[in-house]
Amino acid sequence: MKALKILILLFFAGIMIFAASDLPNRGDQENLMHAEESITGTVVKGTYFIQNAYRDARTPNMVTVVLGDYRSIDTFGEQVVIYTAGLITLLILRKGRRRMTP
């Protein structure tokens, strides 16, 4: 059984290494992911973010601009999700005065 586990792990590690050997180089301009037009001929929406992120918010980190400015309502939702998770632990785990009412 233990040998089977090790074999499965090695199998998945082999798949990972095989997949990683075919990844494109970082910043490859010929890569399809960085093209302004997709295969179907439509304009990729991320092009606007890449071209205008620094001009709009003076922030070199593009990811921060997308998360904090263009998609800020989504980030607000994420924060509310975390807040709700905390409040649920407050409700479930805290043993307060819980009377056994008849």
Partner 1 sequence: MKDPFQSPIVLLGARLLSPYIMVFGWYVIFHGHYSPGGGFQGGALLAASLLLIRVAGGSRLAELQIREFATTPLAVIGVAIYFATGLAAVAAGGYFLDYELLPIPGMEPAWLRYTGILIIEVGIGLAVMAILVMIYDNMVRGEDYG
Q: Which residues bind partner 1 (CB under 8 A)?
A: 55-61, 63-65, 67-69, 72-73, 75-76, 78-80, 82-83, 85-86, 89-90, 93-95
Closest to partner 1 by CB, 40 or 89: 89
Closest to partner 1 by CB, 21 or 84: 84
Beta carbon of residue 14, minimum distance to partner 1 (angstroms, whole number): 30
Q: How far apart are CA 92 and CA 37, in angstroms?
A: 50
Both tokens of residue 29?
């301009």
Closest to partner 1 by CB, 33 or 73: 73
Beta carbon of residue 49, minimum distance to partner 1 (angstroms, whole number): 13
Beta carbon of residue 97, minimum distance to partner 1 (angstroms, whole number): 14
Burial 41-73 (b: 16+ CB within 10 A, else e): eeeeeeeebeeebeeebeeeeeeebbeeeeeee
Both tokens of residue 90?
């407050």
